[in-house]
Chain A
């Protein structure tokens, strides 16, 4: 195996492949940063080009685009509060407040270093633990998915501390929105009000672009500030952030990357869930929980390391079982098949050079990403030096193009504008856009797996047995309860503490 790893490394460092890595990363980062252009689209667009290359070079490039795009999504999340891909929703929670405080550079560098770290950890799982991880993925059935999403939703409770009720209402409205369209069990249209356009349901990405970025533009129009936020480029930000992460966020990074790798192996769950769960866990284990959401590096690091770790994870079931762990992995599998390479455990023996080069190249990709990303940050951060009036126009154009590009449909543009208004006016009455986005993202997965679990329960003859006896499901239930109870306990604890302080005074 060591021999294969070495071959893989030599192959990745060949000038042509190394060039592809740099080009793929740059392209991926730009695609990821533009809201509406997703990692899946970026990789799918480049697949035909790989047909002209040898399969190894093609895969190396696709891996670089995938990694770049997932990282790139954080740039717009941090700079203009607009997640470039659904995986970066949780990055806005702390990334945007950091920008507002004038430390955009800190947030961007934290995201870059965390992404690279997460990417490497995910790849190490792929390299050394592919077989057992693939078996674990298969243990994950409908009830486990259901509880995983409920666990993800429980984040709302701790996210909207101080206003749990409004957070819950926002989340529930998001889930309600996600039920528009064909129902997963019977295939019949719901809440379409006779309009066939709604049969396809509300697309997640236009809704999110609306909630986060279009509403942000309306706020910008209303603000008197000439710039989004103060920004002064300083030298050595990368090093400063690296030191800070090493000092304060070692455990956080490792935990988030492991969560990301595990969530990544599940088909049907990806970066969007991993980043939210990791953010929540980072907050739970941190001594200064109250600082989360106010703009700290730890929040950005948790979300971004987790979503890049899902990349390695999502390739595990694809390479070993032929079951892609994410939409991008599915596209990459298509490319493999088109080159006449069959995925499966045998790929590691029959096509060892290809498989190991691909995996090892991902490690190289993540290391190179630090340099390419640091270079690009110098440019992207300058967005903040552009007066608000121009930025506003640019964001509106990007929002419209991005929404339309999802499936070339004007409906999605209208959906985006509608949610923009919901986000703006909702925000005024304490409505929580993050919670609503969670509802919209997780709603369909919850419903799908709930109805599937109920079908299975019908055959097993017991609902209780299906939902409450599988070990992984039980673990997730316990985690959910802990997650919901912690903020309640904390509030009590804090008021007690305050009471003590008052007594002493």
Chain B
């Protein structure tokens, strides 16, 4: 008898749960325009405490100001240089409740060269928040005073110049390929796992030149000379460093961060998110917080970001094909 009572209880609970669930489903369908009605999952493809995470956390502060109804729940999907997390966003339910951070050119190169299981067309782009330009840096005592001297040395001594980059099929790698393509030099490429060991290698003179990001080199300014920045205009964090363009080399290379939801999300919800992000990104307090955290702000709307990603796809494809790195 007791067993039967238990069975009844269990069946009862199951039925109630089932009713509750279907009931919820119906209400949310009936009142279609209510969004968001539950917390949003924010997928971050890099570890907690990293610069992608810090940026998103700053953003969260202002999301709570402009959309106080529902918070973000952070979900770290780390691995394979971000590809695991990007795939997570691409494959999520397009119900407007999963969004996440994307990094360019990572998300373009991973499907192109490493078999990652998503494509740049799997996303609805919400906005771009950061552009972190690449720089050419040498150790303080280096004989090279300008990037032109570096190129002259490399031309005279093919494959003797040791250039440190972080990761293969990364923004650094693409810049190095572009540099070799545009100047005709041949160099030895030395690949590091992260900016920390790469910076140490430059200071220890294991490498002659390195490609770094503004965010990484700005803390080592006492020990490095920055020869040029691969950006359209000079950077607020390094105002004295000339752009490569103004010194005669047409090379622009950077990593960018933005946000996206999976393809197929209701256009109304995409518009809602784009508007909310726009408000956040125009808030002077947000901009001040970003500056304080060393995050190089570069705002772009979802439409522009979408266009930019597709342009970069072509650019990287051409470069990799030229160097026979993809078929």
Binding site for B on A (CB under 8 A): 40-41, 43-45, 47-48, 137-142, 181-182, 184-189, 196, 199-200, 267-268, 317, 321-324, 330-331, 333-334, 337-338, 340, 342-346, 407-409, 448, 451-452, 455-456, 458-459
When distances are taken between beta carbons in the complex, the residues of chain B under 8 Å from A181 are: 80
Partner of A322, one of B77, B199, B201: B199
B200 adjacent to A343 (CB under 8 Å): no
When distances are taken between beta carbons in the complex, the residues of chain A under 8 Å from B47 are: 40, 44
Separation of A323 and B57 alpha carbons in the complex (Å): 23
B220 within 8 A of A: yes
When distances are taken between beta carbons in the complex, the residues of chain A under 8 Å from B117 are: 196
**Considering residues B49, B191, B196, which has the most beta carbons from chain A within 10 angstroms of its beta carbon?**
B49
Separation of A324 and B167 alpha carbons in the complex (Å): 18
Closest 9 CB pairs of A and B: A187-B168, A322-B219, A138-B204, A44-B49, A200-B79, A459-B188, A407-B78, A141-B206, A200-B80
B255 within 8 A of A: no
B294 within 8 A of A: yes
Interface string of B42-71 (1 = CB under 8 A from A): 000001111100100100000000000000
Partner of A409, one of B79, B114, B167: B79
When distances are taken between beta carbons in the complex, the residues of chain B under 8 Å from A317 are: 200
Q: In the complex, how many angstroms separate the beta carbon of A337 from the nearest chain B beta carbon?
A: 5
When distances are taken between beta carbons in the complex, the residues of chain A under 8 Å from B167 are: 187
B115 within 8 A of A: yes
Q: How many residues of B contact A (CB 8 A)?
A: 53
**Considering residues A43, A48, A137, A331, which has the most beta carbons from chain B within 10 angstroms of its beta carbon?**
A48
Separation of A407 and B114 alpha carbons in the complex (Å): 20
A344 adjacent to B200 (CB under 8 Å): no
B299 within 8 A of A: no
B75 within 8 A of A: yes
Separation of A459 and B201 alpha carbons in the complex (Å): 15
Separation of A456 and B199 alpha carbons in the complex (Å): 16
B169 within 8 A of A: yes
B160 adjacent to A459 (CB under 8 Å): yes
B114 adjacent to A321 (CB under 8 Å): no
19 contacts between A and B (CB under 8 A): A44-B48, A138-B203, A138-B204, A142-B190, A186-B168, A196-B116, A199-B80, A199-B116, A200-B84, A268-B197, A334-B51, A338-B292, A407-B76, A407-B84, A408-B78, A452-B192, A456-B162, A459-B160, A459-B161
B222 adjacent to A344 (CB under 8 Å): yes
B223 within 8 A of A: yes
**Considering residues B50, B161, B197, which has the most beta carbons from chain A within 10 angstroms of its beta carbon?**
B197
Separation of A407 and B200 alpha carbons in the complex (Å): 27
B193 adjacent to A448 (CB under 8 Å): yes
**Considering residues A181, A331, A408, which has the most beta carbons from chain B within 10 angstroms of its beta carbon?**
A408
B13 within 8 A of A: no
A344 adjacent to B220 (CB under 8 Å): yes
Cβ < 8 Å to A, chain B residues 215-236: 219-223
When distances are taken between beta carbons in the complex, the residues of chain A under 8 Å from B159 are: 458-459
B293 within 8 A of A: yes
B83 within 8 A of A: yes
Separation of A500 and B235 alpha carbons in the complex (Å): 78
B204 adjacent to A141 (CB under 8 Å): yes
Partner of B294, one of A142, A189, A267, A337: A337
When distances are taken between beta carbons in the complex, the residues of chain A under 8 Å from B161 are: 459
When distances are taken between beta carbons in the complex, the residues of chain A under 8 Å from B116 are: 196, 199
Q: In the complex, how many angstroms separate the beta carbon of B163 from the nearest chain A beta carbon?
A: 9
Partner of A48, one of B57, B190, B222, B294: B57
When distances are taken between beta carbons in the complex, the residues of chain A under 8 Å from B93 are: none
Given A337-B293, A456-B206, answer yes or no on A323-B196 (Cβ-Cβ < 8 Å): yes
